[in-house]
Amino acid sequence: MKEIKSWQETINGGWARHPLWAYSRHHSSYERDLYIITSDSKGWTVCASIMEAGSSYEYRITYFDRSSGKLLQKRIQRHFLKNHRVLPEASENRQSSNFSCEEMRLSFIRHNDKRNILLCAPELEFLDARFTLIQPDDLESLCTMRSWKDTRTAFLFDRKLNCMKASGILRLRDETISISEDENAFASLNIIRGRLPRKTSDRWLTCCLYKDDHTLGIDIVPGGESTLVYDGMLQRIASVKEETGKEFRSSDGRLDLSFSIIPSSETVSDMQFGYCTGKVIMDDGTVIDIRDVPAVMETTHR
């Protein structure tokens, strides 16, 4: 792997199917992990994130029920704290990130091919969740490194993992919901590390479906790198443009999707929930129809 060794090192951009750049704590000033876990059969999505930028920190849990439109979110922000970081110090296979206070508990743990996610937020109708995500060694993901011509020592490392099988238990009030490994429950993970020369923003639309004994993950970044993950294999598509009405089309014609937002999710301005409908074309020319697949779109400001 290409290790970032110095603040003064010139960073060259690019992309890879597996992690190619190695980082450590003292090289980045912005760090964030975001998990999105969706159960198609049970009709809900749970999002959990930890963001650390300098001396500012944000911890967030979001729950959305697509059938009822119920949206619950708890966000905790801390400022001007020193030596408070909980995200991994380096890119390793064994990692543990833990945050706990009276209002919230977050725990992200990785050991080889498994990731364990523990969430607790009493104010969100006593939400309590335990998930196990499976990340096979051969699962390909989009790993990008962005650099800036005017500031070559600045960089943004962005990894988007999709199609991780999810199982576990979610408790809400007096109800306990179990999801087994045989159900269509999948997770996406966005890992960001970097030191930025200026404020940036982008959109990320992600979804995953199981169809005809195959798994397909879709990650769309308008104007950036967009990909399909078919049975764990990554396929790049040309630049995607976001049109009026949340229509997404790639310049090579391989992706044509519409994202219908569930109105009740618009109360959270940076994260919206809904369904994707349209089609995608694989590398071999196979056309896959997409109909009412649960999806999440996030707008990130850094």
pLDDT tens track for 8-22: 667 778 889 988 887
Q: How confident is the model at residue 79 (pLDDT cuts 50, 70, 90)?
A: confident
- CA-based diameter of the chain, in Å? 55
Residue 82 pLDDT greater than 90, yes or no: no
Q: How confident is the model at residue 7 (pLDDT cuts 50, 70, 90)?
A: low
Mean pLDDT throughout 91-114?
88
Residue 134 pLDDT greater than 90, yes or no: yes
Nearest in space to 196 (alpha carbons), one of 159, 157, 154: 154
Nearest in space to 204 (alpha carbons), one of 216, 186, 192: 192
| pLDDT (0 to 100) of residue 175 | 93
pLDDT digits (tens, 9 = 90+) for 154-194: 888 899 999 999 999 999 999 999 998 878 899 999 999 88
pLDDT digits (tens, 9 = 90+) for 49-61: 999 987 789 999 9
pLDDT digits (tens, 9 = 90+) for 225-266: 999 999 999 999 999 999 887 899 999 999 999 999 999 888
Bridge partner list, 246: none
Residue spans per domain, the chain: 13-301
| pTM across the whole model | 0.94
- CA–CA separation, 297 and 299 (whole Å): 7
Q: Which CATH number fits domain 13-301: 2.120.10.30, 3.40.640.10, 3.10.450.50, 2.40.370.10?
A: 2.40.370.10
